[in-house]
Structures are given as C-alpha cells and as structure tokens.
Structure 1
Amino acid sequence: MKNIRKHFHVIILALGLFVTMACEDLAFGDKFLQKPPSTDVTIDTVFSTAEYARRVLSYSYQYLPYGLETSGYYTTMWLGTIEGLTDLNCDNVGYSGVQRVYYSGSYNSSVENTPRATYMTTKIRFNESETHMWSAIRHAWILFNNVDRVPDMAQTEKERLKAEAKMLVAIYYAHMLRHYGGLPIVNKVIAADDEMPKRATLQETVDFIIGLLDDVIACQDFPWRISDEDMAQWDGRLTKAGAYGLKARVLLFVASPLLNSDQPYAAGEASNQHMTWFGNYDRERWKKAVDACEAFFNALSQNGFYRLVQKNDVSPNEYRYAFRNAYFDRGTTETLISVHRNIYSASLSAGQLVLWNAIRWGGYNPTKEYFDMFPMADGSDFDWNNPEHAANPFINRDPRLNETFILDGDIYQGRTVELTQEYPNDKINYPKGKDWGQGAMHSLSLKTGLACRKWGLDRGSELSGHVIQWPHLRIAELYLSYAEALNEYNGGPTGQAYQCVNDVRARVGLGGLKTGMTQEQFREAVLRERACEFGYEEVRFFDLIRWKMEDKFTTPLHGLNVYKNKEDGTYICEPFSLAETDRNRAWWNAGGFSSIWYFSAFPQDEVNKGYGLVQNPGWE
C-alpha cells in the first residue's frame, strides 16, 4: 500500500500511461493485448471503441498475484519465495528479501524496497511498489464505470466485463486481507476532492469482498468456465467457478483462529477497533465456510468441467504427471483461477531465466521436515524408525514427493539422477554422486542436502519455451478446505470430510486416511495434506498464520545429508540442524518471534499521513 494516497487521489483524465502499461508483457491467448496506435488517449477515446475498452481491464489482470520469478517480473521477495518463511523451505540466496529482512529479524514498518535492479535489496512479502494492486483496483473501477458507454460492444459483453472487474477487485482484496487484515474500502474511482477512505474493520472488509463475489456469481452473463472454442484465446480469464472458489477461500481464512477468536492475536489500536480480528469467536463462521464449499460443489454438479486431473488424462499415464499437470499446465480442469504472465525463456543461459536462477542459487531449498511429511505410496506415514523406510527413503513414496523434490535414483533430464554427497569418513565406498554440485544442480541449491524439482522441473530443456501458469486457486484446495471446515464446525471429521481428503490422495494413488481421528488429529492431517499438495504455491504460509502455529516458526529446521554405497546401494542419511549453519533465522532465537509477525505492517510513512490508516499491532 505504499503511495496509497497517490493512487487514491489521482483523477485519470488522460489514459495514455495506463493503456501503455496495460499492453506490456501479458497475454491471454496470442492477441489479447496490443498497444494502441497512440499514447495520446483520453477516457472518451478509449471507451469509444470495444477494442480499446477491453484493454483497460488488461491492466488489472496484469498484476494479479503471481508467485514465480519470471523475466521482467519479480516477486517481492527477490529470488526467494514466501515458502522460505515456513517449515517447508530454507532460503540460501544471501541477498534475497527472505534472508536480509526476515531471517535477520530486521523487518519493521519502515522497511522500504530498493530498486529491483540491485542485489542490495530489502524486499518484503507484500509491498505496493512491486504489486501495483491499488493501481489495478483503480483501473478495474474505471472499466466498470465507463464500459456501458462503448458503442460497438454487446450488452452481454459489457455485463461480463463488469463482472470481471468486480472479481479482479475481490481477488486483490482477498490477497491483501491475508497480509494485513481489514483494509480501506475502495468501491469506486477516487476523485481528488473525495474524502480519503479510512481503514475498515475486518467485518466490513470481508463483507465487501463477499459482496463483490456474490454479485459476480449472480451475473447471468458471467460464464462458469471458458468454453472449449474460446480456450485458445481466452484461457486465463476469470470465471464464475473461480468466484465460488475464492469465496470459500476467504471464508475459511477468516473462520480460522487468527481472526475468529475470543482474544486478538496481538494487542494494539487496530485490534481495539476490530481491524485485525472480529472481536469474538463464533462457530457459525466455520458454517459459512462449509456453506461456501457446498455451494461450489453444488454448482459444479450442475455445470461440470472442473475436476481433479487424473492419470488417465495425461501422458505418460502416471500419477506423478497428473499432479504435475494439475499445478503446472494451463487450460486443465484443475485450475479455478489461473494467472498468466509469460513463458519460460527459450534460452537457459544465466540471467535469462530468472526462476531457474532463483532455484539454482538457493531460493528453493526444501527441508527435511517437508521431506518427512510425504507418506508412503500405500498412504501410510513415512517413518525413519521403520528400517525398511530408512534403508531407502526415496522409493515407494507419495508421487507428489517425486514431483516436488529431485530424489537420488529418480528421473532427471531423461536419465537416472545421482544426487548424493561424498561421505567424509568413507570416500571410496560412499563417493559423491556425479550430479552433486554440478551445472544446474548448483551447490547453493543443495544447502539442505535436498533439491527442489517443483516449478524448476528438471531444470533443463523441458523448461525451454514451456507455457506455464500460476495456479492462484486449484480445485484440490476446495476439497481440502471443505474437509477442514466440516471438521471444525462439527467438532470432528465427518464422512464427507474424509471423502474430500481421500479424493485428493486418490488422484496420486494414495490410500485413504485412517479412520477414527479426533478433531485435532484430522486437522493436522488436512494441513499436512495441503502442504504436500500445494508446496511452493503460497498456501503453507497462510495456513500457518491463520492457525497461529508459532511452533512452526520458532522450531529450528533440518537438512538431510545423503550418502550412498556404490557397491550395494545402501544409504546413510544424517539430519543436520539449519540453526547451526549460516542460514539461522532470528525467529529460532529466544524472543526472536512474536505473534505480531502474522500480519504485515503498513508503511509507517503512509500511516503518518493521518487519513485513518491504523497500523497493525506491534508495528506502531
């Protein structure tokens, strides 16, 4: 929300700047964004033709939340990932925002972003100077207010575009809600003489978001899905199915203990004014999440199309590739909200594929704790105390493990990978694998002893020119959210709750959860399932904060050194503490973590302007 006053107070009489910006780098299909012939364009000119009017909305699409580093676009963490703040990942890029701001414990309300071109950066998990979300919201309202005057556009398309504009605003607000809590409500284009909107309560913010989504769902001209004939050109456009899904995500988040509690997570003026919690616990908030999930699945039964990608849908016909297709590829039945930005570079040389470099330089280093979460292929828990499991922990595991980690002995660029270290006490029988620290498998990306495959895939030719997406919301999340909400509302898991989790597990060939769980046991199982399914998709961090899982932030994590006997193939696996390396987190030190970290701070210079932007607790 940096420069929020600037964004609120500007009246856009000349649209040349934003039309030009809207036409850079983003494409829904091949021809969606084209530059107009001139930048000397007024509102009257833009909304005098359907062609130009459609491009206004593209600006708002351009800045939808996107968690990957791509050429020309950078996440706010600078070569890092928000997963590096969780128990799933350890960041080893010494100049990333994860390292410099969070691991160091130096984050505060005065932290500012430095120019994106320099390595000496203090990038944080959310900042308006990088996300441009308030600008995108403004442009959505510009389209909403002016599209009816377009002479050469059918009314059905006008209604659809207005629904898209509202849903775009809802997505941005839902995303910022998870970072800040209550927000100023911008429901129109703010003019220079308008009063600045003050920060709203949490309830007002939630009501605003849900109201937008209900309007979208009720719009008859807003499609449930992109039709087959329109998929090639319009894949990536928002749909009614996504609106149902986003509503369920928001209501699940706000029903969780961070916001739905008898006590605020931290004391402060924002808590006193109910901007960061509701002011009480109400079990019925879980019921609203249940109802939203049920509404989605009821609509799905009527309209069809969306479903979990199955192995019969993909080639090769294997469980692991069904999972890969589900999160990675565009245009599948899996993704409810798909964000498109660009494709992987045709060249893999250094500096041209930013995501590849982020992985190679250590931004994506999975932890032993994450490795241990994935069950065995039959659905039973992995256990180091089981001699059979410990003898070879890389086989007969959840296929999602193979697609999230690069495991020794698995496929790698069309061959078998040799990814083990040289055992210091026996360099002859336990030599270093030929892939350890070589080429793309840089030593920085192996600081935890474990390598990340997800998003980077095999880090080779498979990336070249591959059209990817950011899966902002997948149908698998609806299954698991439904299961969680049923468990919390009913005081324990129901048959339907078990079925939802087991459906997600069955997609990768896993057996069902054991029955007879308590409410707490089932909750833990669902959260673990979400970690296995959505690793590196920006789900885990928000799960940890909404459940106020302080222990996951304060308990030191581990890497895993892996050695292999070249004669008989036996493994020696030795855990090591990451707290004893140069990647220690301040949160692991006594007093290094506080509940105030659950929400971000608003930039203090913005708060100091005095228009009613109350700072979050602990950052005053």
Structure 2
Amino acid sequence: MNLTKKYILLLLVLSLAGTACKKDFLDKKPLTEISADVFWKDQNLAKAYVNTIYSQIGQGFTESWMSSVVDETYLTWSRGCEPITQAYITPSNLGRMNGAWYGNDYRNWGTIWANIKNCNVFFENVDKTTFTDASLKNRLLGEVTFIRALEYFDLVSRWGGMPVITKSFNLDNVDEASKMVRNTYKENVDFIVAECDKAAALLPVSYSGQDIGRATKIAALALKSRMLLYAASPLMNKSGVDPLVGYATPDAARWQKAADAAKAVIDQATANGYSLYNKYSDVKANYTQLFLDKNNSEIIFDRQNFGSMHYLDQSNGPNGYGEWGGNTPIQEFVDDFEMADGTKFDWNNPAEKKAPFANRDARLYATVLSDGDPWKGRAVEDHFNEVNEGGKVVLRGGKDTKDGPSSWNTSKTGYNVRKFLNEAYVVDSWTFTGASAQNWIWFRLAEFYLNYAEAEYNLGNEGEAKLALNKIRQRAQMPLATESGTALWDKIAHERRIELAFEEHRYFDTRRWMIAATVLNRPATGIVITKKLDGTTEYLAHTGTSATLVEDRKFKEANYWLPIPQSEIERNAALKQNPGY
C-alpha cells in the first residue's frame, strides 16, 4: 500500500491547511476549499486518503508493551507502566495505557479520535469522487467502515461506552462537539457489530500484489467476533453493571452470538485459503516464524509496517548482545508453560526444579529467552558463576546479567523475550535494511478457535469447545485436552495465555474474566541462577525475598476500566467519568 510522492504532498497540503490558525481561516478563502474540490474528484487521491487512515491504525511494538502492565512481562525502564501495575492510575495520569511512551503506538485517546474523524471526512466526501470502477468505491467504503469500527473497538475495550460520532466536526459545529455524551456500552457494541457486518458485505476475502494488508471480509468478521466475545464476558454481562461499561441486564444468550461469530470467521477463513501456520515440523521454529513470515496463511489482519522502521529487536534483546533488555518475561508467566506431557510445571518437583527449562511446551522456547538458550551464535548467559578468589567464593555474572555491558539494560527477571524478535537483526543498525520490520498482527486464525472454544464452553457444549481448543494444542504438539467442567475451562484459559502471549489479549482477558483482582494483585518475580563450584546449578524462584522480587504489583476494582482523561472531562463536562474515579 505505497503512496506516490505526489499523493503524499497533496495530503500534506490538506493537513497543513486544515490546521491553520483561526485568524487565517477567517481572513481568506482556505486552501482546503480549493484543494478539496480537486482532491475528492480523483479516485486515486481518494484511495491515497484511505492509505493515510491505514497508517494511523494502532500497533503494539513500542518500548512499553501492554504485556508489561499484566502478568506477562516487566519493562526494565517502566515508561508509564507503574501507574497501572501499582494501581495509582488517575484521570490525569493514565500511564502507557493512553498511548505508549517513546514510540508512537497510535493508541492514545486523541490519536484514535483523530482517525475516527478522518474516517468520517471520507464518508462525507466520497460521493464527490468519480470512480471508473464502482467496485473500488464499495471496497474503499468497506475498508474505512472496518477501520472506524476497529478504532471504536480500541476505545470501547479500554474505556467502555463512547460517544458514537459519525460525522466530522469543524469550526462551524464545534459547540455541538463539546456537548457530546457517552452512548451506552450496548449501543457501542451494536454499532461496532453493525459496522462489521456492513464492511464484510463490501470487502473481498483476500488481495494480491500491493493491496495485500488491506481490510478483508474475514478481518471484519474477526473484529465482530472479538467484540461479541468481550461483550458476553462476566465483567460486562452481569447484574448491577453501569450501562456505560456493560449491559443493564445479563443474558447468557450473548455467548451464542459470540460462538456464531467465531464460527463464521473459522468457516469463511478456511474456505478461502486461510489456515493455521504449520510450515515447520519443529514447534519452536514454526511458532517463531509465524510472527516473522509476513502475510502468511494464518494472518487475518495486521498493521503493516509501511516501510518505516521500529526498534522492536533493539529494545528487547538481551543486554549482552548490545540490546536494551526492555519487556522481560516474569516468573509467573514462565511457570505457566506446561510440561511436554501436558502436566503443570511444579517447583516442588525435585526433577523439575533441577532442570526447570527441560521438557516443557515447546512454545516456551519460541516465546522466552532463558539461560542457556542459543541466540546469535552463543548461549544466553543469565546466570552467575561461583568463583574462588583467594579462598573466598564470589559471584561473577554472565554476559547478559548486570555484570555484562549496559547494566542499566539488564533484565531484572532473569529472562528476555524471544517471541517476535528476528535473530538476524544487526545490533545498532539504524538503517531501513537493518531495522526491525515486523508487522503488528491484530487478528490471526488461532484466536478464533480459542474464541469459539470459550463461547461453546459457556454454552455448555464441551465437545465443540474441546474440538476447537485441540486445533491449537495439536499444532503445538501438546497432548489433546480431555478434561470437562472447570478443568476444561482452566485448559481453555491456559491456552489463551500461552498461545496468544504478548499479543495484547491478556490485559483484556484478566479483566473480562474478572480475575485481575487475583492475578494482577500479586508480586511480579524473577529467577536467580547460580552455577556452583561443585558443578551443579541452583535455580531460585519464588523465594519471597528481595532476591527474586521484581515489582510489588497492585490492582483496584476501579482499574477494570480506564478513567476518561481529565483533559477531556474539562473540555466536555457532559462526558461522564467511569465508576471508581
């Protein structure tokens, strides 16, 4: 989806003219009036405008991942995570959840609303465009309908009900905009679902050439599935919920809508060439490449990189390799990877404690870099060595500990991320060819088997739930689930935690399942590994001491939703604040 220089220049002129000061706007005929008349007549420029809307879609590859505000990772330098992890978030301080620090994720309140306005501007002007092919107009309408729905979902999933705005605002109607009230959660869900249906009817199932990466019919159905799954969940679907953040009355039938929507994604996707990525027989290699092999069969929609760089690899690799040790897995997350035989890992099992990284679910080795793992030509050194100096035993850290280079970039957990990273990345290569170029995946097929499993379980259809769940476990070469009752639910929830790790699902799963008050209200810990003089290796975890404590985390009931930014409340007093703030 490349823009020509001519289109970029014209869009820049429109943008600059649109942000001119009020005095200039009133003193002379604005450039936007002249340019817009020409601009919207040209179907190529209309298409270029849609491309700019794509470029504003949010992504997760910033310095502070969303995984670092839940029980997946810890960010070495915080970067706005602490207000969330330590529960002092306020309307005036939303931390990284209102846009990640250092690296634009296009996810803050203002950026999302700006792109919603961009979408509304398109809808208001597209009928002025002369299209030589009517199908192109319909497709662009479908694409922008999907993007606006996605932007709304990004708001609603974090803040609850939003004002449903389907027109742009300018100097002529700014007073109206300042009095907008929040629609209910139900009205937002209904709007997003209807928009997804509308988009699905207008969009093709796939693209080729330079159009790969645009929204498809399957992407619209995927967004609908995720929205309906969230809407059916306990947080929103229980008695006594404020209508701004849930339904006035619970209804178990919402699970049927979620099941039907997930099944529609699976059926449409598999009928049109999508499939679970299974290119390599080795699970570690397969799970690794799933996130590096662009436009593969599993990806339903991703935020394309548009040729611009980000520093995913530089900011997250181990410090001993010249990287920055950013988002680092915590012990509670690593512990949850099963043994290869499907049993739970147990620190109280002497054999497992002696070799905690052996014989685990192979996805662990593609998700987390642990001590001894091969990486860029050597083994990771997250351990300390006992050294006998003059009859006194002292400790010397390995290359990837605080005793290695850039001690300030050392993982405090004893682990580094492996998922998403490209081992071929050249450290400090601040050029396009050497910089990270991974796309951020919004939707992939595996999620919808898990969505379907969850919805069917909640409908009491355990057989269907197990069939869907086992599609994912079979690909991971893990024993198939045979459990029933709450044990089956534990397996479904576990599989989402492992398969979808770091993909921004855990933040919402812990909230919509209402388990955040338990799993996010406990310390985040790490591991200390010591290679002793007698040739043994000691692994210390969950000691209850400062040796393994990484962060003392907290969670409050109000934190199930984010507070509306104080600046927005001051701008528009009609915006009601969320409960607890």
SS at match of 1:365: strand
CA contact (8 A) 1:418 1:433 kept: yes
| Aligned equivalent of 2:70, options 72, 86, 92 | 86
CA contact (8 A) 2:387 2:394 kept: no
Q: 1:344 to 1:580 in 2, by over 3 A?
A: farther
For residue 53 of structure 1, what is the aligned residue in structure 2?
46
For residue 495 of structure 1, what is the aligned residue in structure 2?
463
| Aligned equivalent of 2:454, options 469, 484, 489 | 484
SS at match of 1:602: coil
Runs (4 or more) in structure 1 with deviation over 6 Å come to 116-119, 424-430, 438-441, 578-582
SS at match of 1:320: helix
- The CA deviation string for residues 19-72 of structure 1, in whole angstroms up to 9 with x for no partner, is xxxxxxxxx358699523572552212112122111111222122120112xxx
Are 2:228 and 1:251 equivalent residues in the alignment?
A: yes
- Which amino acid is 2:520 matched to? F
Shift of 1:557: 2.6
Structure 1 residue ranges without an equivalent (≥5): 1-27, 70-78, 265-270, 346-351, 588-592
Are 2:285 and 1:285 equivalent residues in the alignment?
A: no
Identity between Structure 1 and Structure 2 (%): 27
Output the aligned Cα RMSD.
3.3
Are 2:528 and 1:561 equivalent residues in the alignment?
A: yes
CA contact (8 A) 2:84 2:94 kept: no
Structure 2 residue ranges without an equivalent (≥5): 14-30, 318-322
For residue 173 of structure 1, what is the aligned residue in structure 2?
152
For residue 63 of structure 1, what is the aligned residue in structure 2?
56
For residue 444 of structure 2, what is the aligned residue in structure 1?
474
For residue 154 of structure 1, what is the aligned residue in structure 2?
133
Shift of 1:377: 2.5
Are 2:357 and 1:394 equivalent residues in the alignment?
A: yes
| Aligned equivalent of 1:199, options 154, 163, 182 | 182
SS at match of 2:468: helix
Shift of 1:584: 3.5
| Aligned equivalent of 1:110, options 82, 92, 100 | 92
> Number of aligned pairs?
542
- Which amino acid is 1:223 matched to? P
Are 2:300 and 1:319 equivalent residues in the alignment?
A: no
Shift of 1:280: 1.8
- The CA deviation string for residues 69-99 of structure 1, in whole angstroms up to 9 with x for no partner, is 2xxxxxxxxx3222122111223214x1013
CA distance in 2, matches of 1:383, 1:111: 39
- The CA deviation string for residues 280-339 of structure 1, in whole angstroms up to 9 with x for no partner, is 2110011110111122223234x32111101xx24xx52112212223332111111100
CA contact (8 A) 1:413 1:460 kept: no
- The CA deviation string for residues 344-394 of structure 1, in whole angstroms up to 9 with x for no partner, is 85xxxxxx8366235654531211110111112233322223333222121
CA distance in 1, matches of 2:7, 2:346: 55
CA contact (8 A) 2:235 2:513 kept: yes
CA distance in 2, matches of 1:298, 1:609: 46
Q: 1:113 to 1:248 in 2, by over 3 A?
A: closer
CA distance in 1, matches of 2:106, 2:556: 17
CA distance in 2, matches of 1:564, 1:473: 42
- The CA deviation string for residues 193-219 of structure 1, in whole angstroms up to 9 with x for no partner, is 373332101111111000100111222
- Which amino acid is 1:558 matched to? T
Are 2:486 and 1:516 equivalent residues in the alignment?
A: no
SS at match of 2:200: helix
- The CA deviation string for residues 102-152 of structure 1, in whole angstroms up to 9 with x for no partner, is 3454321123789x9999x9x9996324xx111111111222232233225
For residue 461 of structure 1, what is the aligned residue in structure 2?
426
Query: Within 5 A, what are the aligned runs for 1:195-594?
Result: 195-196=176-177, 197-219=180-202, 222-227=203-208, 230=209, 233-264=210-241, 271=242, 274-301=243-270, 303-310=271-278, 313-314=279-280, 317-341=281-305, 353=311, 356-357=314-315, 360-422=323-385, 432-437=397-402, 444-458=409-423, 460-461=425-426, 464-490=434-460, 494-513=462-481, 515-518=482-485, 520-549=486-515, 550-565=517-532, 568=535, 570-577=537-544, 584-585=551-552, 587=554, 593-594=555-556
CA distance in 2, matches of 1:358, 1:415: 17
For residue 44 of structure 1, what is the aligned residue in structure 2?
37
CA contact (8 A) 1:429 1:566 kept: no
CA contact (8 A) 1:181 1:202 kept: yes
Shift of 1:452: 1.7
Q: 1:343 to 1:610 in 2, by over 3 A?
A: closer
